[in-house]
Amino acid sequence: MQDQLDRLCAIALRHSGKYVPGDRPRVGVYVGHQTALPEASMYEPMVCVVLQGAKQVTIGDRVLRYDPASYFVAALDLPAHGCIIEASADKPYIAAAMTLNREVLAELLCTAPERSSGEAAGFQVSAMTPELLEAWLRLLSLFDRPEEVAILGPLIEREILYRLLHGPQGHMLRQAAQTDSRLSRIRSAIGWIRAHFTAPLRIEALAEIAGMSAPSFHRHFKAATAMSPLQYQKALRLQEARRLLVAYGDAAATAYRVGYESPSQFSREYARMFGNSPLRDAALLRGAEPQVA
């Protein structure tokens, strides 16, 4: 597979930071020349392949590492902390990602075998295969031939999703594509949390949205996201707080704005997640030391 990886890296280096034009498939490439501290972000449903270097991601209580020997799939919207752990100026980290298209997955379900009906995680890392890597090579080659994207892009997208459905993540992706699966019902609850993350969280109300009992909902939510509903909400609040602090710099006002009733609790939880107090973290992100009163 090394020859495929070398060719993929060459394409990615020519088109770093770009996206394949058009609505389908939604594909981008990224190049990083140095390792970095973990950064908080929201992972949307996607498949990511690392072509060179390595990345480490923490989602809830799970820590994942992926590199050219593997690929990562997220089937849900997931707050995460990720960092590049292998990269240099001479040998940068290179990755490509494609948004998961649930409609195409649903169309392909009839081609894929039924999997175990056990708990479905919302994310997973699996071993790369030559066939999947070859499809990615043809997909990224469209960066050099944009006039072919409209016709060939959706076809290659279907092939990649087909191979994923037939791989070790098939059960998770089948659950993601089916409208009434446990994973899809968890996704509905996640949609509510994201839309109302500043509001008080009631497990019973979320369980009703998901069509489950409260204990069952809590168990399936944790299995899918590696965190409790409350931890998920907290991650959303603190990520939004970080964005607001960088822009406005008022810690107390930010705490109330994202749903905290106690600025001191907000400061403790913020420091626990990001490693610094709210004002110091915001100042560091802006590239300046905080002023001391």
pLDDT one-digit tens code per residue, 123-139 = 999 999 999 999 999 99
- Identity of the amino acid at 277: S
Provide mean pLDDT across the span 209-222. Answer: 96
pLDDT class for 23, splitting at 50, 70, 90?
low
Quick one: pLDDT at residue 116? 60
- Indicate the SS3 state at residue 19: strand
Share of the chain above pLDDT 90, in %: 80
* 152 and 218 assigned to the same domain: no
* 170 and 59 assigned to the same domain: yes
Which CATH number covers residue 194?
1.10.10
Helix residue ranges, H only, 28-145: 102-108, 130-140
* 24 and 119 assigned to the same domain: yes
* Domain assignment of residue 189, given as a range: 182-227
Of 26, 74, 70, the residue nearest 50 (C-alpha): 70
* 171 and 202 assigned to the same domain: no
Of 204, 161, 167, 212, the residue nearest 187 (C-alpha): 212
Which CATH number covers residue 99?
2.60.120.280
Which strand (E) or helix (H) includes residue 97? strand 93-99
Quick one: pLDDT at residue 221? 97
pLDDT class for 286, splitting at 50, 70, 90?
confident
How far apart (Å, rounded) are the C-alpha atoms in residues 235 and 268?
A: 13
Specify whether the CB–CB gap between 99 and 45 falls below 8 A: yes
Give yes or no for residue 234 having a pLDDT over 90: yes
On average, the pLDDT of the chain sits at 91
* 199 and 236 assigned to the same domain: no
- Whole-structure pTM value: 0.89
Sorted by sequence, the CB contacts under 8 Å of residue 195 that are 6+ apart come out as: none
* 205 and 163 assigned to the same domain: no
Instruction: Please give the structure tokens belonging to residue 202.
Output: 């009631």
pLDDT class for 38, splitting at 50, 70, 90?
confident
Domain's final residue, options 110, 143, 177: 177
Specify the pairing of strand 70-74 against strand 123-127: antiparallel
- The answer as to whether 98 is a domain residue is yes
Quick one: pLDDT at residue 21? 63
* 125 and 13 assigned to the same domain: yes
* 148 and 208 assigned to the same domain: no
- The answer as to whether 154 is a domain residue is yes
Quick one: pLDDT at residue 111? 83
Quick one: pLDDT at residue 205? 96
* 135 and 14 assigned to the same domain: yes
- The answer as to whether 242 is a domain residue is yes
* 155 and 114 assigned to the same domain: yes
* 92 and 139 assigned to the same domain: yes
Domain's final residue, options 160, 177, 194: 177
- The answer as to whether 293 is a domain residue is no
Number of structural domains the chain divides into: 3
- The answer as to whether 278 is a domain residue is yes
How far apart (Å, rounded) are the C-alpha atoms in residues 206 and 158?
A: 33
Q: Measuring CA to CA, how many Å separate 201 from each of 12, 153, 186, 192, 263?
A: 43, 41, 15, 10, 18
Provide mean pLDDT across the span 283-290. Answer: 67
Provide mean pLDDT across the span 240-263. Answer: 92
How far apart (Å, rounded) are the C-alpha atoms in residues 72 and 49?
A: 7
Please provide the DSSP assignment of 203-232 as one string: HHHHHHHHTS-HHHHHHHHHHHHSS-HHHH
- The answer as to whether 256 is a domain residue is yes
Nearest-10 crossing angle of helices 214-225, 229-248: 60
- The answer as to whether 142 is a domain residue is yes
How far apart (Å, rounded) are the C-alpha atoms in residues 57 and 42?
A: 12
Of 34, 18, 47, the residue nearest 105 (C-alpha): 47
CB atoms closer than 10 angstroms to residue 128: 20
* 41 and 167 assigned to the same domain: yes
Quick one: pLDDT at residue 108? 95
- Indicate the SS3 state at residue 56: strand
Q: CA-based diameter of the chain, in Å?
A: 65
- The answer as to whether 80 is a domain residue is yes
pLDDT class for 88, splitting at 50, 70, 90?
very high
Quick one: pLDDT at residue 118? 62
